[in-house]
Structure 1
């Protein structure tokens, strides 16, 4: 879906009109979050958001998976597989599955980590354990109570924050903020800006860690665009962040096109983008996630050679804060199991 503009407005007639629905939706979700989840015998690290839309969750999952691997663990990602047709549980195979099968995020993650797609998160975690997982990284699912979580790491964009602070559909929140804060074990603030400061202060007031990180562009992606003017397009939760990242990296963004999150591109749309780029002498650039979605579709893969993916990763600084959180959770689980 494309995020409506009034979600970022502090007061609007649309959010006021939809607030009763938001109150009902929020009450139901908040009540669901109080349920006790099922244990699956291995630690579960949940990476989630307070709100719908993008905030840097996928790079965080990749960074967490890499850290767990460095610590000698065998992390498996469990994802709902948003946008995919398979209910699962099924292990994602990039050589066999497409984004239409398992969703674009799981397909992208599977290039670096083993991934299970499952609408039933418990079943997904159980399958991952039978495959040798020593730890589960739950991609999203913070508001879903089915699977017990050992730690909840919440990702928020420093420049975007929580928008108007209202609950869906009146705003972007998936549940009222208070019950979400109560279940937050650490807040990961991505990028620059002040929109997340109030939330960060609330988390810190509960004596929970707040980590400030940034997205780091892939040097090869940046150098490939030196001296080029680009037409950037993206179908992610927050395309504006992608365009801003390009510009902050010194890329000359001459034109840009934003699509809805997980947008199912058609051949005519990609053809139109290529024709525009040719007319204006521009290079087509998109996100790694969008590029994975294009390449996995046989109708669109033929256009991939004319499109450049711009890769980013999460820069944790020295990584000490996240490493400490992860090590503490693993230690507690080992003590509890002994």
Structure 2
């Protein structure tokens, strides 16, 4: 699904749908009130967001895992496995599983640390405990009341922020911002704050600022004419990252989050790129959903999350796992 345009502005459509937002909010609060969360025997850090769609949770989860490894601890990832047909609990093996089975994000996480997918989060947490991990990082799940995290981090895209500030279906929020902030210990702000995120948070939580940085080897894209295509939360953000790396983005093909391309659709984009004298380029997350044949037709632009000031993040992680 693609987020509707009116989620970005507080217009007539949003106001007309606001009564349904009230019902959505009430249902979510009732679900949390009725739940009895399971608390794992090891520390669990939840990396979540407040809006529907992508905000950069997976890069943040990977960055936190790096901080945990630096402490000499064994970290494992827990994911729902969105987009995959496996229900789990299942230990993800990138050499065996594909995105159709386990989802795209778990494949990226599994390159860094043991990753378990499970629709039943408590079952997945117990499964990870049996793998001998010292800390669990849960990618998404802030609105899932089945688990009681030791600490939680709210990830926000600085370019989109909280949209029109309304709860679904009138806006992009999964729950009122105040409800989300009440259950997190800090905020990770990814990218420049062009949407007034810091002002909306109002100093109620510490804000860790970060940006996505191209990995070594991406220097080859400088000056290259590219046709960018992506099925992520904000495809335009990918185009911006490419441009910042010096690439000449001649066209952007934007698709809904977690979109799965057929080989003939990829071939059409390859041919379109050729007609523009360009190279088709996509993200690592999108590449995980391509067939091997389709993957061979395109270039991949890998990035990693970098903290603007790593020291407070490292202190927060030590407190969360201590």
TM range (shorter): over 0.9
RMSD over equivalenced CA pairs, Å: 1.3
Instruction: Indicate conservation of the 8 Å contact 2:209/2:309, yes or no.
Output: no
- CA shift digits 1:274-319 (9 cap, x unpaired): 110111111010011001111xxxxx32132221111111111341
Match of 1:212 in 2: 209
Runs of at least 5 residues in structure 2 that lack an aligned partner in the other structure:
none
Counterpart-to-counterpart distance in 2, 1:262 and 1:19: 27
How do residues 153-164 of structure 1 correspond to structure 2 at under 5 angstroms? 153-164=153-164
Q: How many residues align?
A: 320
Q: What SS does the aligned partner of 2:221 have? A: coil
Equivalent in 266, 271, 277 of residue 273 of structure 2: 277
What TM-score comes out, normalization by structure 2 length? 0.96
Counterpart-to-counterpart distance in 1, 2:272 and 2:200: 41
Match of 2:65 in 1: 65
Instruction: Indicate conservation of the 8 Å contact 1:30/1:176, yes or no.
Output: no
Counterpart-to-counterpart distance in 2, 1:226 and 1:281: 15
Q: Following TM superposition, by how much is the alpha carbon of 1:112 offset from its aligned partner in structure 2, in angstroms? A: 1.3
When structure 1 is superposed on structure 2, of 268-277 and 117-126 the one drifting more is 268-277
Q: What SS does the aligned partner of 2:288 have? A: helix
1:109 aligns with 2:109: yes
What TM-score comes out, normalization by structure 1 length? 0.92
Q: Following TM superposition, by how much is the alpha carbon of 1:14 offset from its aligned partner in structure 2, in angstroms? A: 2.0
Q: What SS does the aligned partner of 2:50 have? A: coil
Counterpart-to-counterpart distance in 2, 1:44 and 1:64: 12
Match of 1:297 in 2: none
How do residues 98-247 of structure 1 correspond to structure 2 at under 5 angstroms? 98-195=98-195, 196-201=197-202, 204=203, 206=204, 208-221=205-218, 223-247=219-243
Counterpart-to-counterpart distance in 1, 2:27 and 2:267: 44
Instruction: Indicate conservation of the 8 Å contact 2:164/2:171, yes or no.
Output: yes
Q: What SS does the aligned partner of 1:33 have? A: helix
Q: Following TM superposition, by how much is the alpha carbon of 1:224 offset from its aligned partner in structure 2, in angstroms? A: 1.8
Instruction: Indicate conservation of the 8 Å contact 1:27/1:175, yes or no.
Output: no
Poorly superposed stretches of 4+, deviation over 2 Å: 30-36, 197-200
